[in-house]
Amino acid sequence: MEEGYPFTGTGNLFKFVQGLISISVQNNVIVLFNNDTGGQFNFDRCRQLNVPANMQILKLPDLEEFRSFPTIGPGRSQLLDINGKAAALEYYLQLDEGACARWTSYNSALKAYQGALMNRDAYKNAFLAQQGRVDEYDYRKIEIVLEMPILSCVTMKESAAEAELKRQP
């Protein structure tokens, strides 16, 4: 995303989805939002659009282990539910016992703070540095994430095949 990607941020992703719908994009498209405050807000906005069958709007899943997650601020440290408020993609990687969400910007539309994983680059780099599957690494959460677009692709393909069969005499 940092190297010239033109649509950073969930607000721009929402606008991109609007644009794809307006030009009646023919390709199959999967849009995946983070499970944080900004992602939740724009996921909800996209679901209100007239999304065609060849486009799936997804959000990272709520996970039970995120229902009581260490957080910092504003004002204190506590265990809170970060589903829909902080759970960006890096939370689905293997985290250590020191993992913590820091509450940052406030979204007045959702009346909620946006959370960010402290030391997220360390978790990301540890994942990206792997040359293959590592026995000691816990892939459970990222596998759940990867299943979502795969299942959506299968569903879109099946729907297209059914529609094609109905068109045939």
pLDDT of amino acid 2: 54
| Per-residue model confidence (pLDDT) at position 7 | 58
Average pLDDT over residues 143-161: 91
pLDDT at 124: 94
Helix (H) or strand (E) holding 71: strand 69-72
pLDDT digits over 41-58, tens only? 999 999 999 999 889 999
Q: What is the CB neighbour count within 10 angstroms for residue 22?
A: 9
Report the C-alpha gap between 46 and 40 in whole angstroms: 10
**Number of neighbours of residue 158 by Cβ within 10 angstroms:** 10
Say what the pLDDT of residue 14 is: 87
Q: What is the pTM of this model?
A: 0.86
Q: Which two tokens stand for residue 131?
A: 């040359």
Per-residue pLDDT, 1: 45
Average pLDDT (109-118) is: 86
The encoded tokens of residue 141 equal 């959460």
Distance from C-alpha of 122 to C-alpha of 120, rounded to nearest angstrom: 5
What's the 3-state SS for 6-56? CCCCHHHHHHHHHHHHHCCCCCCEEEEECEEHHHHHHHHHHHCCCCCCCEE
Sign of CA dihedral 46, 47, 49, 53: positive
Percent of the chain with pLDDT over 90: 66
Residue spans per domain, the chain: 10-142
